[in-house]
Amino acid sequence: MLGDDEILTVTLADSVAALRLDRALAEALPGLSRERIKTLIKGGRVADAGGTILWDPSAKTGAPATIEVRVPVAAPAHNVAQDMGLVIAYEDEHLIVVDKPAGMVVHPAAGNLDGTMVNALLHHCAGQLSGIGGVARPGIVHRIDKDTSGLIVAAKHDKAHEGLAKQFAAHSIDRRYLAIATGRPMPANGTVDAALGRSGTNRKKMAVVAEGRGKHAITHYRTVEPLKGATLVECRLETGRTHQVRVHMAHIGHPLVGDPVYGRQRKPLSDVLRNRNFVRQALHAAHLGFIHPVTGNEIALDSELPADMRELIDELRV
């Protein structure tokens, strides 16, 4: 350590002699993304063994060569770390997958400045976060609604964050939800291909909009089990848009049971929900599959339905 910098010394082998400096360093330093390394180079924080500062990320590297990279210690996050007893589905030094309960907000925002999953991760991962963009915080690459339960992944450093973000952008993440939809979808299995955008009448809601006005969105659904006045369905996301499952199922006439925004419950289903005090959309992120952004291993995780949904399904069984 020198001042507030961590000094990383890298010896570049002959195999990277033809590569750009930023790419060669990104391969040698798995905890730093290429974009982060570019920023460090342009900030005068990369030098050769003689102390000469290397300013150009695109310069070819000579090899063998010893390079010093000065990485500022990650600044502390502004959010407060809170011990909230997270349920961890998977964790290593690069990333963490949380099995989020319904009712927990993912990210602090106006009205929810603490008590969020980020606050809990700052406590759980204390000392493990090497910085996302120079800040010691978990790298959230996707979100699930406050009242949706299930699996969500976060990165512990830039390299993992960048690798996960690329997979989400390429729609290669395997995300499957279990949902209780009202009525009986026909056909029993199908695909909803409908763009989503902000509602023109309520900016807090999403809506199906004309192609070109919103973001391309595709949901594949299949019937798992018919229920009384409802159906347990699995929804596989080809894209991941805000409220996608909720809006797409409502769009085909089968809003999710308990959805306070996109659904309206009728008797006798409404009586069942009231008696059970079931006051959220019946939606659970049950499966998450991706390629580990550092090791390259396939990660496939499943989460059991929470008790409130299991008990509701039991009561609605035919």
> Structure tokens of 232?
């347990």
Q: Are 116 and 124 in contact (CB under 8 A)?
A: no
Q: What is the pLDDT of residues 14-41, one digit of tens each?
A: 777 678 888 888 888 877 878 888 888 8
Q: Is-catalytic flag, 145?
A: yes
User: Which one, of 110, 156, 109, lies nearest residue 135 by Cα?
Assistant: 156
Angle subtended by helix axes 269-276 and 307-316, to nearest 10 = 140
Place of tokens 């995300």: 175
Q: What is the CA radius of gyration of the chain?
A: 23
**Given the residues 145, 147, 259, 308, the one annotated as active site:** 145
User: Residue 4 has what pLDDT?
Assistant: 65
Q: Name the maximum alpha-carbon separation found in the chain.
A: 79
Compute CA 94 distance to the chain's CA centroid, rounded to the nearest angstrom. Answer: 14
Q: What is the pLDDT of residues 275-294, one digit of tens each?
A: 999 999 999 999 999 999 99
Q: Are 241 and 177 in contact (CB under 8 A)?
A: no
- 277 Cβ contact partners less than 8 Å away, ≥ 6 residues apart: none
Per-residue pLDDT of the chain (318 residues; tens, 9 = 90+): 344 677 888 888 777 767 888 888 888 887 787 888 888 888 888 888 878 888 888 888 776 788 888 887 666 656 788 898 899 999 999 999 999 999 999 977 766 668 899 999 999 998 888 766 666 678 888 989 999 999 999 999 888 998 999 999 899 999 999 999 999 999 999 999 999 998 888 878 999 998 888 899 999 999 999 999 999 999 999 999 999 999 999 999 999 999 999 998 888 999 999 999 999 999 999 999 999 999 999 999 999 999 999 999 999 997
User: Residue 24 has what pLDDT?
Assistant: 87
Please count the CA atoms within 13 angstroms of the CA of 104 that sit on its side-chain side: 22
Give the angle subtended at the CA of 219 by the CAs of 303 and 222, to the nearest 5°: 65
